[in-house]
Amino acid sequence: MDVQEVRLKLKAELDTLEARSGRLTRHLRREDEALPDDWEERGTSLSNDEVVEALDLKTRARIDAIRAAIGRIDDGSWGECLECGRDIAPARILAVPTTRMCIKCASKANHA
């Protein structure tokens, strides 16, 4: 797999996530439906919001990571470890294209 293929895959995932994030945001802003008048239903609806909100945050974090990875592909820094500046092993970067650290630095960071 070459870099451009990775970029295309990331872009496709980004499009999907952006569509999902838009739906989640609309849901949270109640653009689709108003809060139910019934108090009991309203409670259920609001506790669903917490789940949706958590999902929305996760989706946004993933969107940011993918945007950043595409940016690095475009500026040529993709595949370089942010910490030590060495090349990230191809198997690792292809499996996790959004990673910013080589396996050594990532495990150090996790243990820090």
Residues in the site for Zn ion, rule: CB under 5 A?
Answer: 81, 83-84, 102, 105
Q: How far is C-alpha 72 from the chain's CA centre?
A: 15
- The SS3 assignment for 87 reads strand
CB closer to Zn ion out of 66 and 102: 102
Count Cβ atoms within 10 A of the Cβ of residue 66 and give its class: 0-12 exposed, 13-18 middle, 19 or more buried. buried
97 and 6 Cβ atoms separated by less than 8 Å:
yes
CB closer to Zn ion out of 18 and 80: 80
| Nearest approach, Cβ of residue 85 and Zn ion (Å) | 7
| Nearest approach, Cβ of residue 71 and Zn ion (Å) | 19
CB closer to Zn ion out of 28 and 84: 84
| Nearest approach, Cβ of residue 14 and Zn ion (Å) | 25
